[in-house]
Amino acid sequence: MSNTTTYISKENEIAILDEAISKLGTHSYLGPWLKEVRAELQHCITSDYFPTFTIKQSEAQAAFVVKCAVERADSLVLSAEKQANEIVEQAKGTALSYHHQARQSLQRALNAL
């Protein structure tokens, strides 16, 4: 008895995928999802790349991306607040300096009268 393995061609595998999408239709759980990821699956098949992400892994990856984005946004906000506070303090110092200069000029003008 021979031990032979029959391999399916990439074209046949893609045809089976298309058939499954068609048979499942739009009113099934998997049909719309398979249709949505079909191009990615076809790319994996033709590139000999096994798709490794499950839906759960994709959700975890998405949550990680969101977490990183929130952390970066928080960091940007803190940096912007620090810069804004520095600018405000500098402006206060400049305004106080102008105030003193104006007061001295007025005092000199009064003294000259």
49-62: average pLDDT: 79
| pLDDT score of 1 | 53
Encode pLDDT of 29-40 as tens digits: 999 999 999 998
For 81-96, give one letter per residue: b (16+ CB within 10 A) or e: eeeeeeeeeeeeeeee
- Does the structure show a pLDDT above 60 at 6? yes
34-57: average pLDDT: 85
Encode pLDDT of 68-95 as tens digits: 999 999 999 999 999 999 999 999 999 9
Structure tokens at 85: 């506070």
Residue 21, number of CB atoms within 10 A of its CB:
21
Q: What is the DSSP string of 48-107?
A: T------HHHHHHHHHHHHHHHHHHHHHHHHHHHHHHHHHHHHHHHHHHHHHHHHHHHHH
| pLDDT score of 10 | 94
pTM value is 0.47
